[in-house]
Amino acid sequence: MCTGKCSRFIGIALYPMVVISIVCNVIMLFPGWETNPIQNPGEQMTPEVLYLGGVIGGGLLVLIPAIHIQATGREGCCNNRCGMFLSIIFAAIGVVGSLYGFVVSIVGMAKGPVCQYHPLLNLTQTKWGRPFDSELEDFNKDNYLFNKEFWNTCIYPQGVVEFNIILFSIMLASTCISLILCSIQMVNGLFGCLCGTCRGKNDLD
């Protein structure tokens, strides 16, 4: 596959990853499909959701490179060595954005959601916090993901643990794919810059 066609394929493949990342991040602003937490984000929202790793990182910072990367695979002003050189820079921006979304997703999953729960040994009161992030001595960061028995610790929003795990997992996968594709484009762009974009004699320097 020539460098131009490869760029076009990568650019097109990045678009669904961008949409998935943005949609997942936006949905997570309404944990457990509840609207009340967004009205008090400082206390009731999971911080990693507010970092907008899906909207900014896996979203905008990948969308802009995707547009240029796809353009280098089409006939036009970007389908030349100069366009390929610029695609390396744009792809690097995509790598940074994807990496940001990837890290935010991992941290969000590891620390667990902010929710309302009963403090340890106190079933008459509730508090807002992150019960799986060392707030309760019975939990550790490794076991809550794989032990559904602990997920009922969060009493509100209902089902918020499954909600966050599923959406962070999807966002993690989409940003990981974007990271791989943008990294491949950096290599592809280097070859395109050095060897051209398979336009033959019409290749522009």
What's the maximum distance between 2 C-alpha atoms anywhere in the chain?
79
Is residue 7 within 8 Å of residue 73, measured between CB atoms? yes
From first to last of its 205 residues, the chain has per-residue pLDDT tens of: 577 788 889 999 999 999 999 999 999 999 999 999 999 988 999 999 999 999 999 999 999 999 988 888 766 566 677 878 888 999 999 999 999 999 999 999 989 999 999 887 677 788 899 988 865 545 555 578 888 888 888 999 999 999 999 999 999 999 999 999 999 999 988 887 777 666 554 444 4
Pairing of strands 127-129, 115-117: antiparallel
Q: How many CA atoms lie within 13 A of 89 on its CB side?
A: 4
Partner residues linked to 129 by β-bridges: 115
> What was the pLDDT predicted at 205?
41
Phi, psi of 40 (to 5 degrees): -135, 65
Q: How many CA atoms lie within 13 A of 59 on its CB side?
A: 14
Question: Distance between terminal CA atoms of the chain?
Answer: 21
Closest CA to 71 of 15, 19, 14, 4: 4
